[in-house]
Amino acid sequence: MKFIADSMLGRLAKWLRLLGFDTLYYPHIEDSLLLRIAREQHRIILTRDTRLVKVRGIREHMLLEDNDPFNQLHKVITSYDLLPQLTEKGKIFLPPSVRCSLCNELLKEIPREKAKQHVPEYVYTSCSSFTQCVTCGKYYWTGSHQHNLRNKLSELLKLT
Ligand SMILES: [Zn+2]
């Protein structure tokens, strides 16, 4: 399942990427281009724009009326059945990030040594595998950037 988010949904796009979903997002994009990309790449349009969804021939889309990015995330993952898995203890299980939250690019595994200079020392000592975005160079490791997301998801799904 692939998405394209309109320019008002930057935070939602970031969270979806952290969950591993292919989500395009451009801070500035013309409606016509957004619609064309959605059509050509078979992407579901996520939008806050009531005007946009009235365009004739718009393909699959979801209008998000709530202004809060976490409520938006909740609506998307429940509507499309993308809820995260739960561990035996009923906690949310998030697999390691596979996609850059900034670029939507897939992450590449890198040798541990290469990450040494670029991540906090405690992270280097406690983590065994590291990945990096080939586009922006951002480093990722198990659990990185997901803590806040996991907490918020627990709250949204009323697990806490
Ligand atoms: Zn990146």
Task: State pLDDT tens for residues 1-16.
Answer: 999 999 999 999 999 9
> Higher-confidence residue: 51 or 146?
51
Say how many Å lie between the CA of residue 6 and the centre of ligand 1: 19
Say how many Å lie between the CA of residue 123 and the centre of ligand 1: 19
Residue 50: count of CB within 10 angstroms of its CB:
9
155 confidence band (pLDDT: 50, 70, 90): confident
pLDDT digits (tens, 9 = 90+) for 60-100: 999 999 999 999 999 999 999 999 889 898 888 888 889 99
Residue 135: count of CB within 10 angstroms of its CB:
12
> Higher-confidence residue: 29 or 156?
29
Global pTM reads 0.90
Query: Of the given ranges (20-29, 49-58, 70-79), which has the lowest mean pLDDT?
Result: 49-58
Q: What is the pLDDT of residue 160?
A: 55
Q: Tell me the sheet residues that pair with 107.
A: 133
Say how many Å lie between the CA of residue 146 and the centre of ligand 1: 15
Query: Cα–Cα distance between 41 and 46 in angstroms, integer?
Result: 14
